[in-house]
């Protein structure tokens, strides 16, 4: 269970990085998405990237 707690903590940190990236920090965005992809959440990363593109376009 401790391993799962650490993974959960890491995922929350990656989400925070991704949110910082969405607010204008491209390096944080890249790091957050890369981490999530690296732990097997590729579909989630793809969806997040699409959402960010749509938000950037004002859609």
State the pTM of this model: 0.79
CB neighbour class for 48 (10 Å; exposed up to 12, middle 13-18, buried from 19): buried
Give phi and psi for 6, each to the nearest 5: -65, -40
pLDDT tens for each residue of 15-57: 999 998 888 899 999 999 999 999 999 999 999 999 989 988 8
What are the extents of the domains in the chain?
A: 29-59
10-to-14, 39, 50, 53, 58 alpha-carbon distances in Å: 6, 10, 22, 24, 30
């Amino acid at each position: 269970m401790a391993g799962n707690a650490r993974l959960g903590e890491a995922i929350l940190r990656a989400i925070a990085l991704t949110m910082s990236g969405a607010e204008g920090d491209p390096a944080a965005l890249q790091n957050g998405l890369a981490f999530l992809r690296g732990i097997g959440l590729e579909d989630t990363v793809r969806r997040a990237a699409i959402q960010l593109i749509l938000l950037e376009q004002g859609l």
